[in-house]
Chain A
Amino acid sequence: MLQPAQAPPSAADGTPAIIKSAPIAARHAGRFTRHTYHEKPIAPGCAVGSCDPVPDRRRLALVVTPALAILALTLVIIVGDRPILRQRSLDTGTTRAAVAIRDHVIPFQKWGTKLFTLPHLEDGYDKVYYLTQATFGDQRHELAAAVEEALRRYDEVDIFLLAHGNFFIDWISGIDPALRQKIRLVYNTGCGNASQANLWLAEGADAYVGHPALHSVSPAFYFYFLRRWVRGYPLGEAVAEANRAAARRLDWFGQASPLTDATAVLFGPAELWIGGGGGKP
């Protein structure tokens, strides 16, 4: 058995060039001394504690590791979404505000919705009112007050109803009808709430986006939709792209069915965009 302090044989004995120098040989000897659980000498190029020859696969590592990292990132982007670049300047001379409300769901969903929604809205609007319900029916007064204040202070107001099937329309019906005409876009994640389109348009909204399916997986649509909308996509294009992207993911994960269909329907002008007017006189 090779003794710990014993240095490997010299190059003249036919050992590979890798341990030619004395310092390297000394290091090997030292490592062997520390790891005595394998009472075997470390052969040149071996992993510590093993006498099986392990070649230095530097080139393989340099190829495999970046390839794995690129593959991991690609997987993330494919399952998630590609970077969305701003389509055009949002500095159009009009002021706009967004009002969003999240219903009373589990903490993870409330937090996730806020984490995703708020930065996007703050990126695209001059003012954002973001509300989260703490109980069922909570924030009724706050929602009406936020919408009214936004309508009074800003040229255009978009409303995002991030909730299960709902009737928030009743909560804002007390606002002055003349003010309500400044409501531009209403997006509603509620299952089957596409049926409220005519009500919202009658209340003064220029456009309404809602989901017809009774158990719609609306978050799948919303994720792709909001990112495109705040980047300046025309409403019709944002809805169409988000519908395609959501349907593809639901299909991959076996969630696609008529009942859970995440498809949203647009009622109103397809050319509307975040920086543009709603087309009212």
Chain B
Amino acid sequence: MNPLARAAAWLRAENLAMPLAALLVAIAEIVSLWAVWTASFGPVRRIPEWADLPLGHAVMWGLGLAGSLLSIAGAYRLVRRGRAWVAAVVVPLVCFPTMVVGLGSLYSSLVVAAIL
């Protein structure tokens, strides 16, 4: 079995695939937001002005929702079926922070968009 497939199998077996995916989504969200604000207000404007807000909110909504769902589902699976010590480490150190980032960006987008 090649190392990548072996690692994927191990992640799946230990119920760590979704927490890792949630972490990657949170990182992707930060990188995407950085790309948006650099493209809009960096030294050279690369996107039209009208796109400043929709792009930012699209990232916050899309990746925020994905991160929230993955972190919640990941925490559920780990607590339910994972090894106790793995769950005790990964849930507070990965699932909860990514939950805060994901739900936070969803909530912020709602607040920023003045819906609430």
Contact = CB atoms under 8 A, between A and B. Distances in A.
Q: Do A and B come from one complex?
A: yes
Interface of A: 34-37, 47-50, 52, 54, 56-58, 60-62, 64-65, 68-69, 71-73, 75-77, 80-81, 83-85, 107-108, 110-112, 114-116, 118-120, 122-123, 132, 227, 230
B32 to A, nearest CB: 13
A162 to B, nearest CB: 14
A115 B53 contact: yes
A49 B9 CA distance: 9
Given A47-B81, A68-B96, A76 B104 contact: yes
Interface size class of B (residues with CB under 8 A): 35 or more
B41 A107 contact: yes
Interface of B: 1, 6, 9-10, 12-15, 34, 36-38, 40-42, 52-53, 56-57, 68, 72, 75-77, 79-84, 91, 95-96, 99-100, 103-104, 107-108, 111-114, 116
Contacts of A49: 10, 13-14
A115 B56 contact: yes
A162 B5 CA distance: 53
A69 B13 contact: no
A76 B80 contact: no
Contact of A50 (B9, B36, B83, B107): B83
A48 B13 contact: yes
Contacts of B99: 68-69, 72
Given A34-B9, A57-B79, A72 B96 contact: yes
B53 A61 contact: no
Residue from the set A50, A60, A64, A68 with the largest chain B CB neighbour count within 10 Å: A68
Given A68-B75, A107-B38, A119 B113 contact: yes
Residue from the set B15, B79, B111, B116 with the largest chain A CB neighbour count within 10 Å: B111
A154 B23 CA distance: 49
A230 to B, nearest CB: 7
Nearest to B109: A115
A83 B114 CA distance: 9
A114 B114 contact: no
A56 B96 contact: no
Contacts of B41: 107-108, 110-111, 132
A116 B112 contact: yes
A65 B104 CA distance: 17
Given A47-B15, A68-B95, A132-B41, A118 B79 contact: no
Contact of B37 (A54, A84, A107): A107
Contacts of A230: 114
Contact of B107 (A80, A107, A111, A122): A80
A119 B41 CA distance: 18
Contacts of B95: 68
Nearest to A108: B37
A112 B103 contact: no
A65 B40 contact: no
A36 B111 CA distance: 50
A76 B103 contact: yes
B114 to A, nearest CB: 4
Contacts of B38: 107
B90 to A, nearest CB: 12
Contacts of A73: 103, 107
18 contacts: A35-B13, A37-B9, A47-B82, A54-B84, A57-B81, A61-B76, A64-B91, A68-B72, A68-B75, A68-B96, A72-B103, A72-B104, A73-B103, A76-B108, A107-B40, A111-B36, A112-B37, A114-B53
